[in-house]
Amino acid sequence: MKVISFCSFKGGTAKTSTCLHLGMALAKFYKKKVLLIDFDAQANLTFGLGLGMDVQPSIVEVLQGVKNIEEIIKSTAEPLCNIIPANTLLDGIESRAPIANDFYGHERLKKKLQSLKGYDYIFIDTPPSLGWLTQSALFAADYSLICAVAEPYSLMALNRLKEIHEQIQEHHKIEILGIVLSFWDERLNTNQNYIQAIESSLEGKLFQVKIRKDISISRAILKGATTFDVYKNARSGEDFLQLSKEVLQRLEKSCVEATV
């Protein structure tokens, strides 16, 4: 079982859509058992699967020790893909009891995941920040997948994420699986400059596949589904499927290198 945290230090990078579509692609086309964890108080991942934004119980009760993690797992339209939902009560949870009094509170998610069995992959969708929730997700993960867009502020955020990873690696082993660029417009003549900037900061981490701009992603989410289900010929679906293939290749390579 591999745990992957999806992160970004800037909103609007298609982080949640990438987490959702990648998880569904692995389940639907590669027959992998996937668990999605919504670790963002905005609950967009939960909403994107048609569960609403006020689902109870949620990951909140697990962190508080009120529920076992197995009790709150929800099924989705794809039999091999499940979700642990979130709601707005997740916001500021680290400042409330019992977590506020727990010196090792940032390791709670990691400990809760240890009891889960039968999943090939666990994907954690984090908020677009570097706060307690994102740090907890990184401590729980084997890998992180960074989402970005080809514009200056997003690239600045990449450098900050790199620093956070280096700090966490002093206490917990985590590998940056890769960086995926979304809202990609191949016609822009500044693209190569952004690619070079990413390579200079995180060499070899940029995924070859880029997620192109596509209105079908937003339309599918409003239907509580993915583009695979409602817009079968959408170019975004093609991109996400190619990304899933590249992700699996990198995971396989990482596992082989770890055994050498």
Show the domain range for 15. Answer: 2-259
In terms of Cα–Cα distance, which of 108, 113, 110, 127 is closest to 84? Answer: 113
Q: Looking at residue 47, what is its pLDDT?
A: 93
| Domains contained in the chain, number | 1
The CATH code of the domain that includes 170 is 3.40.50.300
Give the start-end residues of each E strand in the chain. Answer: 2-7, 34-38, 74-75, 81-84, 121-125, 143-149, 175-182
| Per-residue pLDDT tens over the stretch 98-153 | 999 998 899 999 999 999 999 999 999 999 988 999 999 999 999 999 999 988 88
By the 8 A CB rule, do 45 and 133 touch?
Answer: no
Residue 256 has pLDDT above 80, yes or no: no
Q: Could you tell me which residue, 260 or 15, shows the higher pLDDT?
A: 15
Place 65 in a pLDDT band, splitting at 50, 70 and 90.
Answer: very high
Q: Looking at residue 255, what is its pLDDT?
A: 79
Residues ≥6 apart with Cβ < 8 Å to 236: 21, 211, 212, 214, 216, 217, 227
| Per-residue pLDDT tens over the stretch 190-214 | 888 889 989 988 899 999 999 998 8
